Chains A and B, each alone.
Chain A
Amino acid sequence: MNTEIFGVIAMFLVTITLAIPLGKYIGKVYNGNKTLWDPIFNPLDKLFFKAGGINPANNMTWQQNLVALLTINIVWFLLSMFVLMSQSWLPLNPDGNSSMTADLAFNTTISFITNTNLQHYSGESGLSYFGQITLMLWQFISAAAGMAICATVFKAMKPVLHSAKEKAAEVGNFYCLFVKSCTRILLPLCVVVAVLLLLNGTPMTFKGKDQFISVQGDTVNVSRGPAAAMIAIKQLGTNGGGFFGVNSAHPLENPNYFTNTIENVCIILIPIAMIFALGFMLKRKRFAWMILGIMTLGFLLLVIPSIYYEMHGNTAIAKMGVLQNLGSMEGKEVRFGPAASAYWGITSTVTSNGSVNAMHDSFTPLTGMFAMLGMMVNAFYGGVGVGFLNFYIFMIIAVFISGLMVGRTPEFLGKKIEAKEMKIAAIIALLHPFLILVGTAISSHLYAHNPQTYAGWLNNPSSHGYSEMLYEFTSSSANNGSGFAGLGNNTPFWNIACGIVMLLARYLPIIGPVAIAGILAKKKYIPESAGTLKTDNSTFAIMIFAVIFIIAALSFFPALALGPIAEYFGMK
C-alpha cells in the first residue's frame, strides 16, 4: 500500500485505540469514581476548591451552571484584553514586541476564550512571551470549560431512577467538573505530549531570538519561545492557536512526520474520547458507538475525497505542463506530503481545531469545500465538549422527525420532546447558517459595491476570493480558527465582525443544549416499550445523518456553488 495512505490510516487507528481507554477514564473522572491517579490529584484539586471556595459536593442546576460558565468567561475576557493591550511594558518580552490595537486585542481575546484561536496576528512579532502564556492559559480554560459543560449535559441525560425533582439538581457542579477537566485530563496529557515534542526539537525557552549563519553566509534571526507547552494544549484542547504565525507548518512547531502524527492524533483524541465517556457514563455503549459511527461516516466522506484530490494534483498546474508526481504541493510541507496534509486539514476543521500544517488557501477547490463543510456541520467529532453539544441538537431534531414517522410522540432517552425543546433546537440549528451567511453577505456586499476601498481584502477576486470570505466566517462561527490566508484580515471590519460571530457562535450553542438537557432531565422518565423508537441502531443513525446533511449541506449549497464548486468546474 502507498505509504502516505498507510500513514494516514495508522494515525486514525491509533487515535481510536487511545480514545477508548481515555474515554473510560474521562467518564470515571466526571462520575467521581476512583481512578489510579487520585493520590496525585486529590490534594491538587482540594487546593483549587479551597482557593476558589468551591464545594464539589454541592450540585447546581443547569441555570446556575450556565451562569457560572458565563461569569468566569467575562473575567477572562477583561484580563486578556488588559494583557494584550499592555504587553509591550509587561515582563517576558525579550524581542520587544508592541502591544495590540484595541480591535485586534478584542478579536484575539474572544478568539482564545471561545476556543476558536483565529489569529489575525503572527505569533513571532505580535505577542510577547507573557502574551503567549496568557493565551495558553485560555487554551486550557476554554477547552476545560467546554468539556465541563458537556459533562453536565451527560449527567442530565442519565435515566432517572428516583423522583425528577432530585434529578434536576444532579447535573453536577460546573466548577468542580471544570477544575477536574484541567487537572486530571488536559494537564497530564499535555505534559506527555509536550515532552515528546521537546524531544523532537520543539523549543521551550524564555530566551529571545536565536541567530545562525546560513550556508550563503547571511545572518538569520530565528524566533523561539515556550512553544512545546503551548502546542500540546493547542492540539489536545481543539484550540489550534499556534505559537508561530504559520502554525504547525512551522519546522519548530512540527519538526517531523513523527511529531505530525502525535499532533494529529491529539487533534481528534479528546473529541472522540468524549463520546466513549458518554457511553460509559450513561452505560449505553451501543449508543456511543452509534454516535461515533455517524461522526466517522461523515468524517470519512470528507477526508477520503480530500486526500484523493490533494494526491492527484492541481488541474490548473497540470495544464501548464508541470508534472505533479507528489500531488498538489502548493502550500504544503515536503516532510508531510499531500495525504497527511489533507488528513490534518479535515481532522482540524471537523474538530474546530484551527491549527494547520499546510495552507488551506492552496488546497484544491473541493478539498477547501470539504474543510468548510466540516466546519459548517461542526459536529463530526467537533470541538472538545462543544462538538457533542452541536450533535445533540441534530439528535433532538432527528428524534422529533423520526418519532413522528413511527406514529409516536417523539421521545429521546425516555423523555418527551415538545414545543419548548424544539424551539431551542430550531434556533440553535439556525444560528450557524445565519452567522456564516449573513457575515459573508455583508462582506460580499461591501466588496461588490466598493472594490477599490476594500481591495486589500482579497488577493484573488472571483470565486476564490469569495471562498476566502466564506471560509473566514465559517471558521469564526465554527470556533475553528483556521483561515484561507489569502484574506487580508487584520482590519477593523474583520477583527470586529469575526469577534462578534465567534462570541455568538460559542455561547448560544452551549446555552441551547444545556437548557434542553436541563428541561428534559426534569421531565417524567418513560420506560422503553416495544413501540419506543430505538436510538442506538443503524436506522436511527441514518436519520441523524440525513438531518445533518439537510440542515448543514442544504443551507450552504448556493454559497458553496458560487465559491469552491464554481472554482472547481472553472478549473476543469
Chain B
Amino acid sequence: MSKNKSNKLFEPALVSTALKQSFIKLNPRIMFRNPVMFTVWVGTFVMLCVCVWIGAAHVQGQGSLLYNSIVFAVLLLTLLFANFAEAIAEARGKAQADSLRKTREETPAKKVFIIGEMQVNEIKIVPSSQLEKGDLFICEAGDMIPMDGEIIKGIATIDESAITGESAPVIRESGGDKSSVTGGTKVLSDKITVRVTTEPGESFLDKMIALVEGASRQKTPNEIALTILLAGFTLVFIIVCITLKPFADYAHTPITIAAFISLFVCLIPTTIGGLLSAIGIAGMDRALRANVITKSGKAVETAGDLDTLLLDKTGTITIGNRKATAFYPANTVDEKRFIEACMLSSLADETPEGKSIIELAKLNAEDFDTGAAKFIDFTAETRSSGIDLPDGRRIRKGAFDAIRNMVTKAGNSFPEETAAQVKVIAGNGGTPLVVSENNIAIGVIELQDIIKPGIKERFERLRKMGVKTVMVTGDNPLTARFIAEKAGVDDFIAEAKPEDKMNYIKQEQQGGKLVAMMGDGTNDAPALAQADVGVAMNSGTAAAKEAGNMVDLDNDPTKLIEIVEIGKQLLMTRGTLTTFSIANDVAKYFAIVPALFITSVPALQGLNIMKLHSPESAILSAVIFNALIIPMLIPLALKGVAYKPIGASALLRRNLLIYGLGGVIVPFIGIKLLDLLVSVWF
C-alpha cells in the first residue's frame, strides 16, 4: 500500500528540495505575498546596503562592519527559515500527493472508437494520457484502470489497495451508487465499459497537488482576516520605529540603522508571519494523510467549525447491514415449515438482509426445486417480495403493515401473537419482516443492527467539541430511536428519503449552523452540495464527487470525525502561534529599548532587567532569538497543536497559559542565554 503515513518530519530528500526552494522564494515578487515577511525582506536589503556602505566608506557611528554584517546575516537567515517552513510543508504535501499520483502513471488504455452511424465499436490501445473527458474505454480482468471514470456497462471486482490501502477487493457496477472507478486501481475479474469523467490533469488529485504547490492556493477567509491583523501589528511597529528617530533626536541619542531595523524586525510578528502559509499547507497535507482529498483549503477550515454531522447509519454507526437474528413463527405454524418458507422467499433476494436470512436458516438451497417457481421482486408499491412455488404456495415477506394489509384484504385475521412480537422487535431496535403464505401471516423474522464498537466514545468526543451528530436511516422511527440511543447520537432522521437530508441540512443552516454530510449516491449530490462540508466517497458516483468539497479515498464513513479534528487543529495552530509571536515582544522590548538609549540616557539602565552585557550583544541576541524561534516551531506548525475536547474556555485557558504566558517567558530566557554567548565577542 502507498499510505505513506511516515511521521518523520524532515526526510533528507524533502529537506534538500526545501532548502533549494527557500533561496528561490527570496524573490521579492514571491515575498510580496506575505506582508510581514516582505517588510523583513526590505529590512534585510537595507542592511545589505548599509554593510556595503560601511565597507566602502568607513562610516562613523554605525557600528563595525562585522557587527552590521552579522545583523544582515541573521536577518537573511530569518527570511530563509520562514521560506524553508513553507517549502518543507509544500514538499511534504507534494510527496504525499505524488505517491498517490504514481499509481496512475502512463498505462495503456483500451479506448472504444465509435465509427460511423453503424455504431460499430472498434477498440484501440492508446496511452492513458490521450483519453479525454467523455471517452469510453474497456477494462478486463488484470487491466489497470487508466483514468477516473464511471462504469456505464458491466460489473467487476476491483483491487483498490493502491489508493485505499484496503486489500479486500470491492465490487463496482454500472447504474448504482458504486459506479465510480479510480485511475490506478486494478480490475480483478469481469469486464467493464467506463466513461472518462475528468480531463487529463484535472482529476481531484491533480487539483489537490496544484493547491499544495501554491499555484492555485487561495488564502482562506480566515487566513485573510489573520493577515490583516498581522499587517495591522506590523504597521503599528513601523510607526513606533519611524517616530523613534525624532524622539531620539530630541534626546540627543544617535541610533544606528542596524538597531532600528533590528528593533523593527523583532517587534513585528515574524514568527507567525513566517509560519502562516506552512500551517495552511500542513492542514491540507494532514487531510491527505488521512486519505482525504480536499478541493480547497477553506473546506478544511470549515470542518473545524462544524456544528452538525449527518451520518448514514449503515456503515458508519452500525456494521454493514442488518442481519437476521431470529425466526418467530405464529402459534399455529410449525417452526421448521416457517423457516423453510422464510428461506424460499429470500432465494431471489439479493439484498444483504435477504442473504442473511438464508444464512440463518441453515438450510441448503439446492434441496429445493425452484425451477418452475416465479420470483416476485420487491416494488415500492407492494413493499414486499417473495416467491410463487409450482405447488401453489405463494410466500411473501415484507414490512409489517404491507403484509397486514394484504392479509386483512384477503379476509384473514392477523395473528395477535405475531403483531405483539413485531412490536417487541421494533422496540429493541430490530426490524421485523412479516412472512405470509397464501395471504395468511405465518410469522415474523427479526433483523438486527450491530453497532460498531467504539463508536459511542467517538460521538461523546464530538459532543465535547460541540458537534451534534445526526443519524440518517431508512428505518422506522421506533427502530431509529433505539439505535440512536444505543449509539449515542443526538438526533436521527428516520424513514429518510434523499430530500429529507436536504431539508434537514437547510433547516440547520437556517439556524446558523454549519453542517457536514457524507454521501456516495447521485441522489446525495444536491445535499452534498448544500452541506458546508460535503464528503463524497471515492467509490461514489461522479455526480456525488463533483458536488462535495472533499473526497474520501478510504470510503470510510467515520472519516468526518477526523476531518473535524484536522480543521480545528489548523485554526488552533494559527491562533496559538500568533499569540506566542506577539507575546514575545515584551521580552524583546526589554532587550532592545534600553540598548538603544543607554549610552545617552544612562538612567534607562534600570530597564535592562535581563542585565544584558552591552547594547550590541542585546540587539544581536534579540534578532538571533527571533530568527531561531522560526525553525524551532516548524515541527509544531507541520504537526499542528493537539486538539483536546475539553470545552472552549478550558482550551483557551490551556493555550493561553502555554503559548501566551510561555510566549512572554521563553524569550527572556532565550535572549539571556544567547547574550551570555554573544557577549564573548561583543
- Contact between A448 and B249, CB atoms less than 8 A apart: yes
A440 neighbours in B (Cβ, 8 Å): 243, 247
A405 neighbours in B (Cβ, 8 Å): 572, 575-576, 579, 651-652, 655-656, 659
- CB neighbors of B among A336-378 (8 A): none
- Would you call A132 an interface residue if the criterion is a C-beta within 8 Å of the partner chain's C-beta atoms? no
Cβ-neighbour of A433 out of B239, B570, B589 (below 8 A): B239
B229 neighbours in A (Cβ, 8 Å): 397, 400-401, 422, 426
- Would you call A70 an interface residue if the criterion is a C-beta within 8 Å of the partner chain's C-beta atoms? no
- Would you call A34 an interface residue if the criterion is a C-beta within 8 Å of the partner chain's C-beta atoms? no
Cβ-neighbour of A566 out of B246, B307, B601, B653 (below 8 A): B601
- Contact between A423 and B228, CB atoms less than 8 A apart: yes
In the complex, A239 Cα to B438 Cα: how many Å?
A: 96
- Contact between A561 and B607, CB atoms less than 8 A apart: yes
Q: Which of A417, A559, A569 has the most CB of B within 10 A?
A: A569
Task: Write the nearest CB–CB distance from A428 to chain B, whole angstroms.
Answer: 10
- Would you call B593 an interface residue if the criterion is a C-beta within 8 Å of the partner chain's C-beta atoms? yes
In the complex, A566 Cα to B596 Cα: how many Å?
A: 13
Contact A407 B647, CB 8 Å, known A444-B246, A529-B307: no
- Contact between B648 and A533, CB atoms less than 8 A apart: yes
In the complex, A527 Cα to B225 Cα: how many Å?
A: 22
- Would you call A551 an interface residue if the criterion is a C-beta within 8 Å of the partner chain's C-beta atoms? yes
Q: Which residue of B lies closest to A554 (CB)?
A: B585
B244 neighbours in A (Cβ, 8 Å): 558
- Would you call B574 an interface residue if the criterion is a C-beta within 8 Å of the partner chain's C-beta atoms? yes
Contact A409 B603, CB 8 Å, known A422-B229, A442-B246: no
Q: B591-608 vs A: 1/0 string, CB under 8 Å?
A: 001101100010111110
- Contact between A562 and B597, CB atoms less than 8 A apart: yes
- Would you call B568 an interface residue if the criterion is a C-beta within 8 Å of the partner chain's C-beta atoms? yes
- CB neighbors of B among A509-561 (8 A): 524-527, 529-534, 537, 539-540, 542-543, 546, 550-551, 554-555, 557-559, 561
B225 neighbours in A (Cβ, 8 Å): 400, 417-419, 421-422
A565 neighbours in B (Cβ, 8 Å): 604, 606-607
In the complex, A421 Cα to B232 Cα: how many Å?
A: 13
A559 neighbours in B (Cβ, 8 Å): 243, 247
Q: A191-222 vs B: 1/0 string, CB under 8 Å?
A: 00000000000000000000000000000000
In the complex, A568 Cα to B305 Cα: how many Å?
A: 50
- Contact between A527 and B512, CB atoms less than 8 A apart: yes
Q: B468-504 vs A: 1/0 string, CB under 8 Å?
A: 1000000000000000000000000000000000000
- Contact between B222 and A569, CB atoms less than 8 A apart: no
- Contact between A430 and B593, CB atoms less than 8 A apart: no
- Would you call B681 an interface residue if the criterion is a C-beta within 8 Å of the partner chain's C-beta atoms? no
- Would you call B368 an interface residue if the criterion is a C-beta within 8 Å of the partner chain's C-beta atoms? no
Task: Write the nearest CB–CB distance from B511 to chain A, whole angstroms.
Answer: 6
Q: B644-682 vs A: 1/0 string, CB under 8 Å?
A: 000111011101100110000000000000000000000
A466 neighbours in B (Cβ, 8 Å): 247, 250-251
Cβ-neighbour of A404 out of B248, B578, B594 (below 8 A): B578
A422 neighbours in B (Cβ, 8 Å): 225-226, 228-229
In the complex, A530 Cα to B468 Cα: how many Å?
A: 9
The stretch of B100-108, B422-430, B459-467 in contact with A is B459-467
- CB neighbors of B among A377-420 (8 A): 397, 400-409, 414, 417-419
- Contact between B656 and A438, CB atoms less than 8 A apart: no
- Contact between A407 and B304, CB atoms less than 8 A apart: yes
Q: Which residue of A lies closest to B660 (CB)?
A: A546
- Contact between B512 and A569, CB atoms less than 8 A apart: no
Task: Write the nearest CB–CB distance from B471 to chain A, whole angstroms.
Answer: 18
- Contact between B605 and A569, CB atoms less than 8 A apart: yes
Cβ-neighbour of B305 out of A408, A447, A527, A550 (below 8 A): A408
In the complex, A409 Cα to B512 Cα: how many Å?
A: 13
A183 neighbours in B (Cβ, 8 Å): none
Contact A447 B250, CB 8 Å, known A400-B229, A527-B511, A533-B652: yes
Size range of the interface on B? Answer: 35 or more
Task: Write the nearest CB–CB distance from A79 to chain B, whole angstroms.
Answer: 36
- Would you call A463 an interface residue if the criterion is a C-beta within 8 Å of the partner chain's C-beta atoms? yes
A447 neighbours in B (Cβ, 8 Å): 250
Task: Write the nearest CB–CB distance from B516 to chain A, whole angstroms.
Answer: 14
Q: Which of A408, A426, A445, A532 has the most CB of B within 10 A?
A: A408
- Contact between A558 and B228, CB atoms less than 8 A apart: no
- CB neighbors of A among B180-237 (8 A): 221-222, 224-226, 228-229, 231-232, 235-237
- Contact between B236 and A433, CB atoms less than 8 A apart: yes
Q: Which residue of B lies closest to A551 (CB)?
A: B236
- Would you call A91 an interface residue if the criterion is a C-beta within 8 Å of the partner chain's C-beta atoms? no
Task: Write the nearest CB–CB distance from B501 to chain A, whole angstroms.
Answer: 21
- Contact between A430 and B467, CB atoms less than 8 A apart: no
- Contact between A404 and B226, CB atoms less than 8 A apart: yes
* Residues of chain B whose beta carbon lies under 8 Å from any beta carbon of chain A: 221-222, 224-226, 228-229, 231-232, 235-237, 239-240, 242-252, 267, 301-302, 304-305, 307, 463-468, 511-513, 567-572, 574-576, 578-579, 582-583, 585-586, 589, 593-594, 596-597, 601, 603-607, 643, 647-649, 651-653, 655-656, 659-660
- 23 CB < 8 A contacts A-B: A407-B571, A407-B572, A409-B305, A426-B229, A444-B246, A466-B251, A525-B512, A526-B307, A533-B648, A533-B649, A533-B652, A534-B648, A542-B656, A546-B656, A550-B582, A554-B589, A558-B244, A562-B250, A562-B251, A562-B597, A566-B597, A569-B607, A572-B603
New A-B contacts (12) at CB < 8 Å, excluding given A401-B575, A402-B652: A407-B571, A408-B648, A441-B246, A444-B247, A444-B249, A445-B250, A448-B249, A537-B649, A562-B247, A565-B604, A566-B603, A569-B604
The 4 closest A-B pairs by CB, nearest first: A531-B466, A404-B575, A407-B568, A426-B232
* Residues of chain A whose beta carbon lies under 8 Å from any beta carbon of chain B: 397, 400-409, 414, 417-419, 421-423, 426-427, 429-430, 433-434, 437-438, 440-442, 444-445, 447-449, 463, 466, 524-527, 529-534, 537, 539-540, 542-543, 546, 550-551, 554-555, 557-559, 561-562, 565-566, 568-570, 572
